[in-house]
């Protein structure tokens, strides 16, 4: 397939108050194709002044047609937007593949998920309601769920469409006005989405997009006194800064900070059924997935068998250009390639059980070979730190007790899975593993926009996806009326 971006919008602009405008500082950032290292365009380097203008536009939208719109009308716009996204799935997939390096199949799945978020939150917009509370004689008490106001959305580069869908979708459905700061390495689909939202009839200012650097536009957004809620997905270090900035303005924050998610395979597991999940959950999106499963815990009796069969799958993995749509694409940037290669080097003294092959990897692309390490001790940095690349470790365990200790033995707690045919064991493990989502005899459950998602420990706090996100994007007001 051709490397032509074929854009139908100007990628070097910001969307503020419904207008496409140049960044106020007149500066731009280069866009690189991670598959080749070639420059493919430029995006706006938004400034603090652009963030000021975007926050002012969002505040104005709250008091204009957007703020007065019924929940049903908001929902209708989101559903229209979902249909428009579906019509452009192939265009969005191509743009994402070239900008972010995702193999086309994955990029397409992300675009379909974006549409699905619009359908889900569009349909849910008029189904969120407060409650009445039985109280003292002479009172009627009820609660109202109101939007926070202006919400800030800091989105990373690994799944731009899905993360915009889950956070901006829920925020708009509940009547907030949004300011979105996409990652500098992954802006194009955010801008495409904003252009479609405008065409779908979203009133001016309800969604503003300011591309730029995290340390400039991102920091300005999270510290802005006119913002009432921040949703952040990214690294722990940046998440801490975001939470500190939000604390100064005393506003709520949702943090989704990745993980070191385990899959626990017991000797009674259906191993053929587990195998594709064990490997795919580690190499999907070149391992650059917050919920990647980077630790495979296997009971001794089946340990050798599982390692051997995973290794065969690793050896067959083909790595190459996103547009060639192989098993694994490039990493997002040379910087990320250095981080991941550094981790692989740290495993020099470990057993490499299997490795994928580079089959179409032009010089200048950010490729690493997917690598499976066996017999890794739970204390090794490869088994504790988030690598964010196509690297998995397989760790043996003796019994349930040890499996729980290893599974809970990192700072993170985002996702986990349990592979076993024993129902009682499944239930025990689901209770004992510390993670925001537990899967039994599967991993990821197909991504499910309906399923609340978020972390424990350093994986973050707050829940996105499903109805739960709509509670997070609203604030509860209690009304107590005395009528005698």
Find all residues with CB under 8 Å of 78, minimum gap 6, and list them. Answer: 118, 119, 121, 122, 125, 169, 172, 173, 200
24/261 with CB nearer ligand NDP: 261
Binding residue (CB under 6 A) for ligand NDP from 15, 100, 115, 155 = 155
Binding residue (CB under 6 A) for ligand NDP from 24, 233, 293, 437 = 233
Kindly indicate which of the ranges 100-108, 214-222, 316-324, 425-433 contains the residues binding ligand NDP, using the contact rule CB under 6 A: 214-222
Find all residues with CB under 8 Å of 166, minimum gap 6, and list them. Answer: 117, 449, 453, 464, 465, 469
100/298 with CB nearer ligand NDP: 100
Q: Indicate the helix (H) or strand (E) that contains 451.
A: none
**Could you give the residue ranges of the DSSP H alpha helices within 210-333?**
219-223, 236-249, 271-283, 300-315
391 lies in the site for ligand NDP, by CB under 6 A: no
Find all residues with CB under 8 Å of 23, minimum gap 6, and list them. Answer: 14, 44, 45, 46, 47, 50, 212
Q: Quickly tell me which residue has 């994986």 as its tokens.
A: 459
Kindly indicate which of the ranges 114-122, 177-185, 373-381, 476-484 contains the residues binding ligand NDP, using the contact rule CB under 6 A: 177-185
CA–CA distance, 161 with 173 (Å, rounded to integer): 17
Q: Which of 256, 386, 400, 464 is catalytic?
A: 256
CA–CA distance, 292 with 417 (Å, rounded to integer): 11
Active site residue 59: no
**Could you give the residue ranges of the DSSP H alpha helices within 347-482?**
381-384, 400-407, 423-432, 466-472
386 lies in the site for ligand NDP, by CB under 6 A: yes
Binding residue (CB under 6 A) for ligand NDP from 23, 149, 156, 160 = 156
242 lies in the site for ligand NDP, by CB under 6 A: yes
214 lies in the site for ligand NDP, by CB under 6 A: yes
210 lies in the site for ligand NDP, by CB under 6 A: no
Find all residues with CB under 8 Å of 204, minimum gap 6, and list them. Answer: 17, 18, 19, 57, 61, 64
- Number of residues forming the site for ligand NDP (CB under 6 A): 28
CA–CA distance, 434 with 412 (Å, rounded to integer): 9
Binding residue (CB under 6 A) for ligand NDP from 339, 352, 358, 440 = 339
The residue number with the shortest CB distance to ligand NDP is 214
CA–CA distance, 380 with 384 (Å, rounded to integer): 6
352 lies in the site for ligand NDP, by CB under 6 A: no
User: DSSP for 419-433?
Assistant: E-S-HHHHHHHHHHS
154 lies in the site for ligand NDP, by CB under 6 A: yes
118 lies in the site for ligand NDP, by CB under 6 A: no
371 lies in the site for ligand NDP, by CB under 6 A: no
The 8-class DSSP code of residue 323 comes to G
366 lies in the site for ligand NDP, by CB under 6 A: no
184 lies in the site for ligand NDP, by CB under 6 A: yes
Least distance in angstroms from the C-beta of 334 to ligand NDP = 13
Q: Which two tokens stand for residue 221?
A: 């957004």
Least distance in angstroms from the C-beta of 341 to ligand NDP = 12
Binding mask 273-292 for ligand NDP (x = CB under 6 A): -----------------x--
Kindly indicate which of the ranges 115-123, 181-189, 272-280, 474-482 contains the residues binding ligand NDP, using the contact rule CB under 6 A: 181-189
CA–CA distance, 193 with 96 (Å, rounded to integer): 12
157/439 with CB nearer ligand NDP: 157
Residues classed as catalytic: 256
User: Can you give the binding site for ligand NDP, defined by CB under 6 A?
Assistant: 154-158, 183-185, 213-215, 218-219, 222, 233-235, 238, 241-242, 256-258, 290, 336, 339, 386, 388
């Amino acid at each position: 397939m051709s490397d032509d971006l074929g854009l139908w919008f100007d990628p070097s602009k910001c969307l503020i108050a419904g207008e496409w405008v140049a960044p106020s500082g007149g500066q731009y950032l280069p866009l690189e194709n991670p598959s080749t290292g070639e420059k493919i365009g430029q995006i706006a380097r938004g400034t603090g002044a652009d963030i000021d203008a975007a926050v002012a536009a969002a505040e104005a939208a709250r008091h204009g047609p957007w703020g007065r719109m019924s929940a049903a009308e908001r929902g209708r716009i989101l559903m229209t937007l979902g249909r428009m996204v579906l019509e452009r799935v192939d265009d969005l997939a191509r743009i994402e593949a070239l900008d972010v390096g995702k193999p086309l199949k994955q990029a397409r799945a992300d675009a379909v998920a974006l549409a699905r978020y619009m359908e889900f939150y569009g349909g849910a917009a008029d189904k969120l309601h407060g409650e009445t509370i039985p109280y003292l004689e002479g009172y009627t008490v009820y609660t109202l769920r109101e939007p926070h106001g202006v919400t800030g959305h800091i989105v990373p580069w690994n799944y731009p469409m899905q993360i915009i869908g889950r956070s901006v979708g829920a925020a708009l459905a509940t009547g907030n006005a949004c300011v979105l700061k996409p990652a500098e390495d992954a802006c194009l689909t955010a801008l495409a989405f904003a252009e479609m939202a405008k065409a779908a009839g979203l009133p001016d200012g309800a969604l503003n997009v300011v591309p730029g650097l995290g340390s400039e536009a991102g920091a300005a957004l999270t510290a802005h006194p006119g913002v009432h809620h921040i949703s952040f997905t990214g690294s722990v270090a940046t998440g801490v800064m975001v939470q500190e900035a939000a604390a100064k303005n005393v506003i709520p924050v949702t943090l989704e900070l990745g993980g070191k998610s385990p899959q626990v395979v017991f000797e009674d597991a259906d191993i053929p059924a587990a195998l594709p999940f064990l490997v795919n959950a580690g190499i999907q999106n070149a391992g650059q997935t917050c919920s990647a499963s980077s630790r495979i815990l296997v009971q001794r009796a089946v340990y050798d068998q599982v390692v051997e069969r995973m290794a065969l799958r690793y050896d067959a993995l083909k790595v190459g250009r996103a547009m060639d749509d192989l098993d694994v694409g490039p990493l997002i940037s040379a910087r990320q390639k250095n981080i991941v290669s550094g981790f692989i080097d740290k495993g020099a003294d470990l057993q490499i059980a299997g490795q994928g092959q580079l089959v179409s990897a032009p010089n200048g692309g950010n490729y690493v070979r997917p690598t499976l390490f066996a017999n890794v001790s739970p204390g090794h940095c490869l088994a504790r730190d988030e690598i964010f690349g196509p690297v998995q470790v397989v760790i043996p365990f003796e019994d349930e007790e040890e499996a729980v200790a290893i599974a809970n033995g990192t700072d993170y707690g985002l996702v986990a899975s349990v592979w076993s045919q024993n129902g009682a064991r499944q239930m025990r493990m689901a209770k004992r593993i510390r993670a925001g989502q537990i899967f039994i005899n599967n991993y990821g459950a197909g991504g499910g926009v309906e399923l609340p998602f978020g972390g424990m420990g350093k994986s973050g706090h707050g829940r996105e996806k499903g109805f739960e996100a709509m509670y997070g994007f609203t604030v509860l007001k209690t009304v107590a009326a005395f009528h005698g």
